[in-house]
């Protein structure tokens, strides 16, 4: 803990967050009536879209004197990426404790531990209101830990703000404002809501489309339904409750994607585009391809989020025996 109290972060990593490339998926998108442009969030310094909020929330909390370098402990409930991002942004200044549901694979846990974060695993198959859920466990740990700051990414407006101030404006700049649609999954809803707000503020006519794993309740709630959800394999998006930050009023449409389709798309992204990305990227690209076929209007840009890299799923999605066990068998015998 070497940084003097009150000093805002100025690490190399902090200065590398954002300004990620927007690259056309020309092979996967060949022959489609619209261009598919992928926002490469896995190129952030600690490897995911969550670097944007990790650094932004800590900076804002420091400005508001909610954190004391060398003394405070950050506590958060995460699918893994926010934990890695917070540990990177907090490096050398804060203790980090994260809770994570047992559904998440081991790779992100190992990464968080490598960054020095403490990881508490919680049961997956409990309702969100259970005291044992990963969110309620994080709340309890925050209450019990002296000088703690509960990051609360599912409700913290600085999460959405990070995307409204950076991700959205970057997309507008990189496309020259020509965006017919924006496609993303929602975990906390920070990305999709923040980007949607930036697009709306700029007067963009872009359709905002939620890519949701089949089994999540979010797409159903957007349509006004009350169907129960069920388990699914893709990590980091969808869920069994609507987070406070997710403004469904800004979402025009939802596209439900099965686990098998998301996994197959991840493998296609590897072999056809040379991109090794996580499951939620597969979900979003699968949704973007479906949208590209139906979206009316002259040829334009569909922007799709690639939130993290595939190395975080080496033990799961990119492990052939894991895929076989779950019936996600690739048609390509080489895989
Ligand atoms: N993809 C992955 C892999 C994630 O971990 C997350 C965040 N949980 C998201 C997408 C969704 O981001 P957001 O929380 O901003 O909705």
Domains plus CATH for the chain? 8-43+156-325 (3.40.50.1100), 50-150 (3.40.50.1100)
For 298-309, write each residue's pLDDT tens digit. 999 999 999 999
Q: What is the pTM of this model?
A: 0.96
Task: Pick the residue whose CA is nearest to atom 3 on ligand 1.
Answer: 236
Going from the Cα of 307 to the center of ligand 1, the distance in angstroms, rounded, reads: 7
Residue 271 has pLDDT above 80, yes or no: yes
* Ligand 1 contacts CB of residue 281 (under 6 A): no
Pairwise CA distance, residues 271 & 59, whole Å: 39
Going from the Cα of 187 to the center of ligand 1, the distance in angstroms, rounded, reads: 5
Going from the Cα of 4 to the center of ligand 1, the distance in angstroms, rounded, reads: 32
Pairwise CA distance, residues 220 & 328, whole Å: 25
Residue 330 has pLDDT above 80, yes or no: no
Residue 1 has pLDDT above 50, yes or no: no
Q: In this structure, are residues 178 and 203 in contact, taking their beta carbons and an 8 Å threshold?
A: no
Q: Tell me, what's the pLDDT at 57?
A: 98
Distance of CA 27 to the CA centre of its chain: 24
Q: Tell me, what's the pLDDT at 195?
A: 99
**Alpha helix locations (H) across the chain?**
12-16, 50-63, 81-89, 106-114, 134-144, 157-162, 168-174, 190-201, 218-222, 259-273, 279-294, 320-325
* Ligand 1 contacts CB of residue 278 (under 6 A): yes
Q: Which residues are catalytic?
A: 50
pLDDT category, 46, cuts 50, 70, 90? very high
Going from the Cα of 333 to the center of ligand 1, the distance in angstroms, rounded, reads: 31
Q: In this structure, are residues 65 and 306 in contact, taking their beta carbons and an 8 Å threshold?
A: no
Give the atom of ligand 1 at the shortest distance from the alpha carbon of 189: 16
Give the atom of ligand 1 at the shortest distance from the alpha carbon of 78: 8
Distances (CA, A) of 193 to 22, 157, 159, 217: 19, 10, 10, 17
pLDDT category, 2, cuts 50, 70, 90? very low
For 112-136, write each residue's pLDDT tens digit. 999 999 999 999 989 999 999 999 9
What average pLDDT is seen over the chain?
95
Residue 9 has pLDDT above 70, yes or no: no
* Ligand 1 contacts CB of residue 193 (under 6 A): no
pLDDT category, 335, cuts 50, 70, 90? low
Task: Pick the residue whose CA is nearest to atom 11 on ligand 1.
Answer: 187
Give the atom of ligand 1 at the shortest distance from the alpha carbon of 279: 3
Distances (CA, A) of 237 to 125, 161, 184, 292: 16, 19, 9, 21
Pairwise CA distance, residues 319 & 335, whole Å: 9
Residue 89 has pLDDT above 50, yes or no: yes
For range 28-54, the mean pLDDT: 98
């Amino acid at each position: 803990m070497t940084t003097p109290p009150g000093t805002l972060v100025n690490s190399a990593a902090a200065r590398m967050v954002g300004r990620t490339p927007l690259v056309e998926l020309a092979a996967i998108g060949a022959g489609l009536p619209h261009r598919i442009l992928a926002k490469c969030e896995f190129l952030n310094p600690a490897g995911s879209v969550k670097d944007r909020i990790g650094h932004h929330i800590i900076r804002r909390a420091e400005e508001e004197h909610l954190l004391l370098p060398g003394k405070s402990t950050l506590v958060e409930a995460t699918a893994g990426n926010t934990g890695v991002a917070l540990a990177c942004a907090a490096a050398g200044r804060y203790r980090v404790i994260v809770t994570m549901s047992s559904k998440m694979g081991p790779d992100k846990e190992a990464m968080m531990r490598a960054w020095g974060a403490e990881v508490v695993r919680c049961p997956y198959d409990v309702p969100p209101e259970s005291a044992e859920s990963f969110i309620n466990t994080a709340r309890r740990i925050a209450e019990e830990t002296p000088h703690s700051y509960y990051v609360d990414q599912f409700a913290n407006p600085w999460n959405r703000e990070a995307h409204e101030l950076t991700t959205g404006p970057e997309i507008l700049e990189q496309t020259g404002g020509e965006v017919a649609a924006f496609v993303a999954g929602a975990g906390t809803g920070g990305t999709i809501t923040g980007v949607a707000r930036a697009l709306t503020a700029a007067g963009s006519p872009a359709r905002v489309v939620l890519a949701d794993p089949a089994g999540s309740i979010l797409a159903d709630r957007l349509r006004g339904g009350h169907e129960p959800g069920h388990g699914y394999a893709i990590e980091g998006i969808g869920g069994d409750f609507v987070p406070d930050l997710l403004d469904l009023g800004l979402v025009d449409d939802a596209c439900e994607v099965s686990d098998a389709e998301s996994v197959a798309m991840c493998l296609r992204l590897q072999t056809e585009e040379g991109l090794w990305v996580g499951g939620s990227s597969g979900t979003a690209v699968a949704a973007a391809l479906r949208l590209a076929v139906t979206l009316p209007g002259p040829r334009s840009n569909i922007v799709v989020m690639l939130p993290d890299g595939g190395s975080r799923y080496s033990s799961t999605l990119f492990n052939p025996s894991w895929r076989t066990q779950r019936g996600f068998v690739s048609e390509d015998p080489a895989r």
